Amino acid sequence: MTLQHDIKEKRNNRGILLISCPDRPGIVSKVSTTLFNHDCNIIDSNQHSTDPEAGHFFLRIEFECSDLEHKKSSIEKSFQLLSEIFDMKYSFNYGNESQNLAIFVSKENHCLLELLLEWQRGDLLGDIKLVIGNHEDLKEYVENVNIPFYYLPITRETKEEVEKKQLELLKEYEIDTIVLARYMQILSPSFIEHYPCQIINIHHSFLPAFVGANPYKRAYERGVKLIGATAHYVTDDLDEGPIIEQDIERVKHHHELSDLKKIGSQVERKVLLKAVKWHNSHRIIPFGNKTIVFD
């Protein structure tokens, strides 16, 4: 019996409800009453309104319900009626249904290793099914923990063919979420459309000041005082998708270029891990080009 299986077993009767709708009085009352009518016990609730007069309302509720497997269809049916009243978008997610993850990598290992460590500890709330790399540098790290590694080199001429193969693998492994762990390739719009708000990327936060190659070198030459990282969902607009998490670290005049890169990798690891964990635990509601994150 695997650690991931044990975690699912412990969360068998746990449900998570995400709601997005125009704000108006009575939403929380109706939602909580509907759950109560199905013997659900609310154990965590978070909400946000962009404007109580004419704004948009967001709600995340985590609940326990005995014998949830047999009750969830009737619970969901009740919310179909409720959604018509409140013009509500909603989704149910269940504790025993973990996310299937695919990780895309190139040569840098820091983000990959952070994710593998958390997965091994059972703290990722997701199951890493495979790793795809356009270089073979990280293959040994992946296979050492018995995760399949697929080496798919990519060029401008082979991009369409390789992305087709990637999509076939993602379908074969029933992947829910793709994590770009310093994957140094731009995904095509046709690829992205298969996974809307299901692809998470990480990059440095120098943008838009230092676009392109060698950003740390140019930041060092400019004498920057802050180094940061941004995790976001991938859209057709390069590095401009809805932001999930950001963080920074201060740097000083005595730091060399190698120090900046090391500090940057530390921030990237931390930010990407938070974003993936929040996504896997259904704490994020995309809203336009923003996200509501109930952390």
DSSP three-state, residue 101? strand
What does the alpha-carbon distance between residue 25 and residue 47 come to, in Å, rounded to a whole number? 13
| Through-space distance between the first and last CA atoms of the chain, rounded to whole angstroms | 30
Q: Catalytic site residue 51?
A: no
87-98 burial, b at 16+ Cβ within 10 Å, e below that, comes to ebebeebbbbeb
> Given 39, 137, 239, 259, which residue is catalytic?
239
Cβ neighbors of 185 (< 8 A, separation 6 or more) are 104, 106, 134, 154
**What is the number of residues in the chain?**
295
Q: What is the rounded distance in angstroms from the CA atom of residue 13 to the CA atom of residue 8?
A: 10
Neighbours of 263 (CB within 10 A): 18
Rounded-to-5 percentages of helix, strand, coil across the chain: 35, 30, 35
Alpha helix locations (H) across 87-231?
A: 110-121, 139-143, 159-172, 189-192, 215-222
**Cβ–Cβ < 8 Å for 149, 104:** no
192: phi then psi, degrees, rounded to nearest 5: -60, -35
Give the active site residues: 239
